[in-house]
Structure 1
Amino acid sequence: MSPPTDLPDPPFDVASPAQATSPAIFNSPHSGSRYPASFLASSRLDARALRRSEDAFVDELFAAAPSYGAALMRAHFPRAFLDVNREPYELDPRMFEGRLPPFANTRSVRVAGGLGTIARVVGEAQEIYGARLPVEAALARIETLYKPYHRTLGRLISRAHRSHGAALLIDCHSMPSSGGVRDERPVAEVVLGDRYGTSCAPAIMDLAEQTLRKAGFVVARNRPYAGGYITEHYGAPASGFHALQVEINRGLYMDERTHMKTAGFEPLLDLLTTFVRVMAQAPLGALTTVRAAAE
């Protein structure tokens, strides 16, 4: 199983604080924009079309995390190439030449929609590939990128938990400014997802929502984004592991057609820096203890 030879180097990185004073870890798994040449050559779409699946500039919007004692992890490889916010083997057998491992999840809703670990489509169901991929190529991406990414993220979370008695993962994403061509209604400016109350303590969700509303944002909970695999997998509030997904409306800071920042970027960065500070400095022990006692 040969790994791709033209991957970003490094494929992801961690911006660590000078002192890890916070139990929070900020993660930007979908902001990668370095497209392997071999991937572009195998795609029937151009780079501009492929970028529709990017959470463009999200890593920059949360870049203040290390200043407040929290790590920031970010992918450099693009989501269209490999999506780490999926199970490791959510794969569509129709995409590949060869047999998938028997443990692959081939029947998930995300696979059915073309958005498995290796996506079949971007945007409004635009097919990425013009031909089937060798199954070895899929497995190489998982071994080379997916597993190292999650090993690193898992270590960051475990280290925070050991040091602080609890850990808070803030999984950072962006969302289209409308529901798509069939639904042009605007969505909220920020959507917070805690898997309907199962991935973090309620008081943490309350703090996040209150902070964002105070900054002037229109905030929604869990609809239409409740959190993906990362939020679900790492969130175990009863054991002190809390995970919260944050989705930022792209219309606030970028032109979605050109993928360029707009004049709204800097004001948004300032507001989100306040959010980063509040969440990085959140007293997790006191928050979760008080809420648990009240219940």
Structure 2
Amino acid sequence: MAAATPNDLPPWHLTGEPDGRWPLLLASPHSGRHYPTALLAGSRLGLMQLRRAEDAFVDALLDGISGVPVISATHARCWIDLNRAPDELDPAMFDGALDVPVTISERVLAGLGVIPRLAGHGLEINAARLPAGQAADRLAALHRPWHDQIAGILAAARRRHGAALLIDCHSMPSPSGPRPPQIVLGDCHGRSSHPAIMTAIEDHFRRQGWRVARNSPYAGGHTTRRHGQPDSGIHAVQIEIDRALYLDQHRLTLHSGAGRVRAAFTGLAQRLLADWPRLLAAPPFAQAAE
């Protein structure tokens, strides 16, 4: 059971059986809808403006999956972004020196660090600088436990099955251009997962009639880079789904397409489980899983 945060809300919801009996784990790090009082009180934005940063209701797209563990964040992405490295922090956002490591990455410069400066549409979140101690507090309460929990579930699955797979689930604004992708799969350009897994996932979504791209414009974030270690038997793939397939993006409500997307994710989990022995036998997958 996840440790409770100061407001007694667990940092995640976890369903299924996370004891290693399944080689698969699905995660939704950006669908949290809890907005702490300190965030709302200190923000220059209203709730609906803050919610534009969510991967809204991606957790609801996974709720048809049974048995297989599914972990979904509870806290809003505007409070902490679990798909960023813990040192991706902007010191200028705080009222004093930070007592945690800091790396000024391109994402930090864009206002999208582990504690974001910007919400959707490039809007500034905070009306004033944050207390410096909040950085360490949010990381300790939410970021570190989230990734420790994921690592523990994957390690248990690898011990039992020889290899394990994390599917990190996200949604994206509708891409522009002629016939843009509706699903984008990211494996850090082949570094976080065996290609046989990517091929199986791509084939599954193409069979649903959707356009699928690999690693462009999203190749994977901190989660896939941290947990995806194919040579050690842990594989990770990021899935981005066009929000227009399931979401009214103005009202942030599910529309009639959500059932089809939910069925596709349930079917993906079932297919990966059914194909797991064949995937394990695919070279060089077999050598890495031994």
TM-score computed with the length of structure 2 as normaliser = 0.92
Matched residues in 2 for 1:74 and 1:238: separation?
A: 27
Structure 1 position 13, deviation (Å): 2.2
- Aligned pairs for 1:7-156 (under 5 A) are 9-17=9-17, 21-65=21-65, 67=66, 69-101=67-99, 103-105=101-103, 107-156=104-153
Name the SS of the counterpart of 1:290 in structure 2.
Answer: coil
What amino acid is aligned across from residue 37 of structure 1 in structure 2?
T
Q: CA deviation at 1:4?
A: 7.3
Distance 1:266 1:51, change over 3 A: same
Distance 1:129 1:187, change over 3 A: farther
Match of 1:197 among 183, 190, 201: 190
Superposed CA RMSD: 2.2
Q: Contact between 1:22 and 1:281, CA under 8 Å: does it hold in 2?
A: no
Deviation at 1:64, TM superposition (A): 3.0
Structure 2 match to 1:214: 207
Identity %: 41
TM-score, normalization by structure 1 = 0.90
Change (3 A) 1:5 1:21: closer
Change in Cα spacing, 1:19 to 1:215, as seen in structure 2 (3 Å) is farther
CA contact (8 A) 1:62 1:276 kept: no
Deviation of 1:294 after TM superposition, in Å, equals 11
CA distance in 2, matches of 1:243, 1:165: 15
* Secondary structure of 1:127's aligned partner: coil
Q: Which amino acid aligns with 1:259?
A: L
> Distance between the aligned counterparts of 1:75 and 1:187, measured in 2?
29
| Residues 35 and 294 of structure 1: CA distance in aligned 2, closer, same or farther (over 3 Å) | closer
Instruction: Confirm or deny: 8 A CA contact 1:177 1:186 kept in the other structure.
Output: no
Distance across 1 between alignment mates of 2:285 and 2:116: 44
Query: How many residue pairs align between the two structures?
Result: 284
Find the counterpart in structure 1 of residue 270 from structure 2: 277
Name the CA shift for 1:90/1:35 in 2 (closer, same or farther; >3 Å).
same
Correspondence for 1:227 among 207, 220, 233:
220
Question: How far 1:286 moved relative to its partner?
Answer: 3.6
Could you tell me which residue of structure 2 aligns to residue 290 of structure 1? 282
Is contact 1:203-1:288 (8 Å) kept? no
**Following TM superposition, by how much is the alpha carbon of 1:186 offset from its aligned partner in structure 2, in angstroms?**
6.6
Between the aligned partners of 1:76 and 1:93, the Cα distance in structure 2 is 26
